[in-house]
Structure 1
Amino acid sequence: MSSARPRIRRSAPAGRRSRIALTGPAALLAAALTACSGGSSGSAEVGGDGKAPDTSVSVNLTGKAAAPGEPVKVTLAQGKLKAVSVKADEGGALAGKISGDGRTWTSDRVAAPGTAYTVEATDADGGSDKAAFTTAEAEKVNKLSLAPGKNTTVGIAQPLSVVFDHPVKDKAAVEKALKVTTSNDTEGSWGWLQDYSGKDRVDWRPEEYWKPGTKVTLDAQLNGVDTGADGGWFVRDYTTTFTIGAAQVVKVDLDGHRLALHRDGKQVLDIPMSAGTPGGEKASWRGTAVLMSKEGTINMRSETVGLGDAYDKMVDYSMRLTWSGMYAHAAPWNAGVFGQANRSSGCVGMSDANASALYGQVRVGDPFEMTGTEAKGTVAEGNGYGAWNVSWADWQAKSALK
């Protein structure tokens, strides 16, 4: 039987035959040949004269269960590659580069799990063909949560924070995929820590507080990254963008029993308050905490923070500072000691009017700088956003790429 009509044909100078085929154990070919035509196993003719091609290409991934997490490599046996495209059937493509000798193309990113890809290659003489492969599904998928929220405006102390659903063993591989850009080339560093929940977490912060107006973008190119044993694969990318607002700092003097809000270096509020009772677990934390959320009116119960049945109250103007339960809020029941003594169960309390004024002006991401001797210790980096209590050198040392 004669061969089928060739699918792709190209012109060549008289007296010269040069064809391209995707071949080898790592290529799946959509060949334009009938079942009765000749040809060696694993190769496809792009011509129609039935003769073996004198130029061939091999792809390192093959079949319907190819191993994910590897770059796609396309290698030309002879001649030079002109262009290669690797497209996912669900949309998107893998960018890549041709080597200096023109023989090999390698994708910049790895092949993702559970994805069908089509490979198209063209040589310098115009020959071309296609191949296809599908990667194996991920047995376990890792996911993450990002803070701050997308397109938000936050305070000058807000870090970029990523919490992972499952353990991250290969921290370096994950960190390499996290691309941070800023509108003013702010330098910073990732630091790995354990979140208060016990999960793996990585935060990105500058050496000093952000400059107001800075726009920050995270491009987490994680699709196809293996987080290691017990963690699983990422099967998508993530992005978030946020902007830094006004330069606001809340200064809390635990020993002086006062709180002051500073904006652009000027004091705009001065509030008498009462913090945690010193000498035990009811004492407040010192150090820098970052306003995590403004929660309004909430029910606070002492058993949730390990203090038995000491209190069960509805509390107004609640501003969360730590995961362990430290807030700034209205505490009218302590009015007799505002500005005089610390008598709360760990929070920073003030009058309804003052709490309302503070609540209306602070922003998530504003730092609360708490100083004084009447404290039970320093806010840990995983208890909310305590990274500012770690020196810059020590923070940089927490990077997996140091």
Structure 2
Amino acid sequence: MTSARDVIFARQLFLQPMVRGARILELGAIGACGGTSALALHDRGAASVVSVDRDPASAVAAQREHGGPGLRFEPEGLGSLPAARFDLAVVHDPSWIFDEGGLAALRDALAPGGRLVVAVRGSGYSRSCEAGDAAAYARTAALLAAAFPSVEVATQRSIAGWVVSPSARTGTALTVEEGDAGGEEAAYWLFVCGEHDADVWEHALRLQPLRPIVESTSVREVVVLERADALAAGLAEARLESAGLRLRAEELEAETVTLRAAAAADRLRMEELEALVESLRSRQSDDASDELAALEAEVARARAVARQLRLDALDPANDLSFSRDASGRADNDDPVGRRLREAEERAESAILRAREAEERMRAAERRAEAAENARAASSLAARRAEAEAEAVRRSAEGIADAIAKGRPITSR
């Protein structure tokens, strides 16, 4: 099955004229090839190969399996590279040159006359690639053109065709006709940079069975399409959930408005009850006090009249003797007795009315207390309604904020 390893090995065949006797730096291939690409460069005649990768485990494993004289694998960054040492630097992952200081470090690591080769994925890599590949091409070309006097571009693309070979002869020339494949877009662009243009440019064709290429491409496309379907389904589900959450937020907002109106009505009722309680207390207290004072004054006058009648009756100069019956009350037939009895009755009546006034005042106080209890209950209900309205408001704001930020929300 074709893989990144096959792509890198085809690239090496194209670069073969630059490989022989060169001190080579390879970046970003250990993870894809397990160190075999650097080993292949060494076997193709490179004087030495240093392969660097961001994955420390892969670099250590490759060094253990393939490392040796003239072949080294390092899990280090560009900062550890010696200056002016390499004749050829091959970058299979363009992110190395976009790292801060990455391109400058690579340029400093090249010996005089050395070349930098950078591979950038093109739109012919997969049907799922988008127009962003053109932007990547332009960005890479601009960056390299600012750093090197010469920047040349080669294309790398896969083709399918037929090979007709004589069975009894080897080493014969290969005749290639592009046919209908000439319009195929590049799967990769190879930027070859240096102080001057490259001396040798030849087509390179690395043969491998057709079926694995077709099968791997089909599998990749199926995986991409399945992933796209899954993402589309997830997006539809997220949109549906978002719509439901928005509807719930609107319902909570409406409920908040209702609860706030209820709380406002409770507060208004509470204020009315407070005013009523204060009015009852003031009015009933004043009325009861005035009535009680009048009755007390009447009782005092009645008692004063009775006391004066007794004094007049006991005064010898007045000759106002009167008789009392067996119960001690004044005789009704005696005028003085009648006056005294009337005064006593008025006093008793005044005392009775005073007691009734006191009872009415206590009843008014009980009504005022009941009104105060009603006011307290209404105040408690208003506070509860306000608290519930605030909780609903916060819940609605939380849902609206989650929708705006795209966070997942669990309904409670």
Q: TM-score, normalised by structure 2?
A: 0.21
More helix by share: 2
Higher strand share: 1
Q: Which has the larger radius of gyration?
A: 2
